Amino acid sequence: MPDWITATLIVLATVVAMEWVAWSSHKYIMHGWGWGWHRDHHEPHDKTFEKNDRFALVGAAMSISMFALGSPLVMGASAWWPATWIGLGILFYGVIYTLVHDGLVHQRYFRWVPKRGYAKRLVQAHKLHHATIGKEGGVSFGFVFARDPVRLKAELKAQREAGIAMVREAEIG
């Protein structure tokens, strides 16, 4: 059994790494060949669930798989102890994602509009992500780490001018 410091570091490193996994899968899968599942997330609707919610099941499967790989009950002597802590990090990231993206940004679970600070920056960055029409172009593919909205607006404007993305003008000024 690993000591608690090592286990904690693995969990924290996994949470940080999951933001990179989320960013890259959002940019290259959800806005690529996985657009069929992700499209309804970018379109107005009044449904409780979206096809896009299927991606949460993919994340859950990743976490459960790691728990299984780390379990001596499942894997016997070939269990890999770090897998349990990686699975816990993926689970924690999923909870953070759900609270930040679905809760704060899209207000699916609670209503709070931040007036300042990092929470406001997160909301602004993700709203700029939704400023594009369709899957091409776009900015701010991460979910927890948000870049400066002023820079994101400039990137969107440049993408529109270059013909890379269709952008809702009202969103970028």
- pLDDT greater than 90 at residue 12: yes
Q: 64 and 138, same structural domain?
A: no
**Domain end among 96, 112, 128:** 112
Taking only the tens place, the pLDDT of each residue in 83-129 is 999 999 999 999 999 999 999 999 998 899 999 999 999 999 999 99
Would you state the pLDDT for residue 167?
A: 87
List pLDDT tens digits, range 34-64.
999 999 999 988 888 999 999 999 999 999 9
Indicate if 47 and 101 belong to the same structural domain: yes
Statement to judge: residues 119 and 161 lie in one domain: yes
Residue 7: CA count within 13 A, CB half-sphere: 11
Domain that holds residue 132: 113-173
Asked if pLDDT for residue 2 goes beyond 80, the answer is: no
The three-class DSSP label of residue 115 is coil
101 in the same domain as 125? no
Of 17, 5, 10, give the one whose Cα is nearest residue 81.
Answer: 10
Instruction: Give the number of domains in the chain.
Output: 2
Cα separation, 162 vs 17, in Å, equals 32
| % residues pLDDT > 70 (the chain) | 96
Single-letter amino acid, residue 63:
S
Final residue of a domain: which of 62, 84, 112?
112
- Whether 55 and 127 map to the same domain: the answer is no
pLDDT at 171: 61
Domain boundary among 95, 112, 129: 112
